[in-house]
Amino acid sequence: MIYDDSNIFAKILRGEIPCNKIYEDDFVLSFHDINPQKKIHALVIPKGKYVDLDDFSMNASPEEMVGLLKGINIVAKKLEISSDTGKGYRALTNIGEYGGQEVPHLHFHLFGGEGVGKMVE
Ligand code: AMP
């Protein structure tokens, strides 16, 4: 899988494009989606160069894997949508063409702040 360094999230990670940051640590960056689909629509991306979840699952280190999962939980808590700080949310990642992925850098969408509806249209 070839990672395209010119994708928009790579530019955000390099600081070339601004984002509305929610959280950052050694493993993840989280920011608000520019085109929110729900009251809360956050994105959580790993700092490493991974095209999608398959690429990440095959090639990321155990530390990066734990870091991403922990990052999602930290962001959900921070936004008060987690199962302990709020009423829950949906975490979703699109993979490839049929998955509807537009940006070729792995990202999890966190939807919440209201009921998020049917799982698949
Ligand atoms: P996907 O279809 O899963 O690849 O989702 C890509 C998401 O990135 C969409 O929800 C876009 O609204 C979002 N997006 C694109 N550009 C930006 C940006 N500059 N800042 C924040 N979110 C963005």
| Cα angle value 30/36/41 (rounded, 5°) | 40
Rg of the chain over all Cα atoms, to the nearest angstrom: 14
pTM: 0.98
Residue 19 CA, closest ligand 1 atom number: 20
Protein residue closest via CA to atom 18 of ligand 1 = 34
Residuewise pLDDT in 10s, the chain (121 residues)? 899 999 999 999 999 999 999 999 999 999 999 999 999 999 999 999 999 999 999 999 999 999 999 999 999 999 999 999 999 999 999 999 999 999 999 999 999 999 999 998 7
Instruction: Tell me the CA distances in angstroms from 39 to 31, 56, 80, 81, one per residue in order.
Output: 14, 28, 12, 11
Q: Let me know: does 48 contact 60? Beta carbons within 8 Å.
A: yes
Q: Quick check: CB of 92 below 6 Å from ligand 1?
A: no
- Residue 104 alpha carbon to ligand 1 centre in Å: 10
Give the pLDDT score at 121: 78
Q: Quick check: CB of 33 below 6 Å from ligand 1?
A: yes
